[in-house]
C-alpha cells in the first residue's frame, strides 16, 4: 500500500500538470481573442517571438503602416517606416533550431534584431506582403 507521502507527491504532480494544461489552453483562447480584435489587418497569424532562449506565443498583424505583435502580456508594434531590414530565414541568429516546417521572420530596426517563428505557409504570405530587403543589397526596396 502506498504511503501518504507518496500519494501527496503524486497528487501535487497531477495538480501541477492540470494547471499547466489549463494555462496553456487559456493562452490559446486569449490569442484567439486578439486575432478577432485585429481582424481588419491585411495579414494576421500566430507566431512565436524569440527573446533570448524564450519562445513567446504572439499574434502578428500587418496593416498598411504597422506590424503588431501581441499576447495577453505584451503589446508591441513597429512602424514599417522604421524597419531597416526584413529577412526570411530557416534558422535563428542564436543557432537554436526551429521546428520542422517553420520559418523565421527577422526584422532589424536601428541596430536591434527581432525574430519571429511561424509556419512556412504563413511565412510565405508575409513574404508576399512584406518583401525581404537588406541594407547592403543593391537597389534594396524600402518597406
Q: What is the mean pLDDT of residues 24-42?
A: 66
Within-domain flag for 139: no
Within-domain flag for 76: yes
Within-domain flag for 136: no
C-alpha to C-alpha distances, 80 to 63, 108, 110, 142, nearest whole angstrom: 9, 11, 12, 9
Query: Which pLDDT tens digit goes with each residue over 53-67?
Result: 889 999 999 999 999
Q: How many domains does the chain have?
A: 1
> pTM above 0.75?
no
- Full residue range of the structural domain in which residue 48 is found: 4-129
Within-domain flag for 54: yes
Within-domain flag for 141: no
φ and ψ of 130, to 5 deg: -130, 95
Report the CATH number that the domain containing residue 22 is assigned in CATH: 2.30.29.30
Within-domain flag for 135: no
Amino acid at each position: 500500500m502506498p504511503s501518504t507521502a507518496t500519494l501527496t507527491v503524486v497528487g501535487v504532480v497531477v495538480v501541477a500538470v492540470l494547471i499547466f494544461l489549463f494555462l496553456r489552453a487559456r493562452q490559446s483562447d486569449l490569442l484567439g481573442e486578439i486575432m478577432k480584435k485585429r481582424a481588419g489587418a491585411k495579414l494576421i497569424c500566430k507566431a512565436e517571438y524569440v527573446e533570448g532562449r524564450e519562445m513567446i506565443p504572439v499574434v502578428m498583424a500587418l496593416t498598411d503602416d504597422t506590424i503588431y505583435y501581441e499576447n495577453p502580456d505584451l503589446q508591441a508594434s513597429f512602424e514599417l517606416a522604421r524597419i531597416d531590414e526584413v529577412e526570411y530565414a530557416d534558422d535563428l541568429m542564436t543557432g537554436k533550431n526551429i521546428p520542422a516546417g517553420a520559418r523565421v521572420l527577422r526584422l532589424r530596426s536601428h541596430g536591434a534584431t527581432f525574430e519571429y517563428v511561424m509556419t512556412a505557409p504563413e511565412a510565405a504570405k508575409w513574404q508576399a506582403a512584406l518583401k525581404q530587403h537588406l541594407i547592403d543589397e543593391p537597389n534594396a526596396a524600402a518597406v
